[in-house]
Amino acid sequence: MALPCLLKSFPLLEKLYLKMPYQTGARRNELPAVQFHANLKEIEFGYFGYCWVEYASYLLRCATGLERMVISRHQKGYVGCGKWTSLTDPMGKKESHRIYIALLGKAASPNVKVIIHYDSGLSPGGFYLI
């Protein structure tokens, strides 16, 4: 993933939405040393699975001005003419708890709120807040 190149190419970027390809296998791509990004305020991961947790952790460490990170299996896509579509593949409480434990204490910003949505079997579901 060219995540570090993306951040370096857009130093004024404030909001980032990443639609992750869902995979069940572990990802072992090497991420470079942390390059700080002061302007990024909000990150949203769509269609997120545990295999992407190292990327979320990397972004938490890089984004020194980050205020909010949202992690869910919800994904949205632009279909044109100002219209968006959405799809939800519910994340279970067990997987969301693993993500919560893996990201706890990783943020460079003391003010960041990390929200991890999961399906609790109830409407609208539950979430973890770091």
pLDDT tens sequence across 38-74: 999 999 988 788 888 998 999 999 999 999 999 887 7
Percent of the chain with pLDDT over 90: 28
Domain membership of residue 67 (yes or no) is yes
pLDDT at 88: 63
Domain membership of residue 32 (yes or no) is no
26 — pLDDT class (breaks 50, 70, 90): low
CA angle 86, 87, 91 (to 5 degrees): 135
pLDDT at 66: 95
Model confidence at 10: pLDDT above 60: yes
Domain count, the chain: 1
The structure tokens listed for 70 are 């949202």
Domain membership of residue 8 (yes or no) is no
pLDDT at 64: 94
Model confidence at 123: pLDDT above 60: no
Q: Considering only residues 122 and 4, tell me which one the structure prediction assigns the higher pLDDT.
A: 4
Domain membership of residue 38 (yes or no) is no
Ranges of H-type helices in 41-122: 53-62, 93-103
Q: Could you list the residue range(s) of the whole structural domain that residue 66 is in?
A: 49-89+100-125
Single pTM value for the model: 0.77
Domain membership of residue 13 (yes or no) is no
pLDDT at 128: 60
Ranges of H-type helices in the chain: 3-9, 53-62, 93-103
Average pLDDT over the chain, rounded to an integer: 81
CB crowding 115-127: b at 16 or more within 10 Å, else e: ebbbbeeeeebeb
Domain membership of residue 18 (yes or no) is no
Distance of alpha carbon 93 from alpha carbon 46, whole angstroms: 17
Domain membership of residue 83 (yes or no) is yes
Domain membership of residue 74 (yes or no) is yes
Q: Considering only residues 19 and 61, tell me which one the structure prediction assigns the higher pLDDT.
A: 61
